[in-house]
Amino acid sequence: MESSAEIKVKAYTKGQLAAIYQVSRRTFMRWVKRNPRAKEIEPPDGYIYTPCQVAKIFEIFGLPPS
């Protein structure tokens, strides 16, 4: 796994973001659905979040643990 210093803002799938945050995909999606600020994030195109959406996720949830 990459450390938080090496995490790049790029397109990620839901599963990849869940792995980065060290939670299940189901838990990650619950975070996104239940967080009021996450409503600012457009729904992903299929399973892939764009770099802009990923930057917003990092802003809302903070950088992932190392």
Chain segment 20-48, per-residue pLDDT in tens: 999 999 999 999 999 999 888 888 888 89
pTM for the model stands at 0.84
Q: What is the pLDDT of residue 5?
A: 57
CA distance 66 to 56: 19
DSSP β-bridge partners for residue 12: 49
29-35-41-25 Cα dihedral, nearest 10 degrees? -10
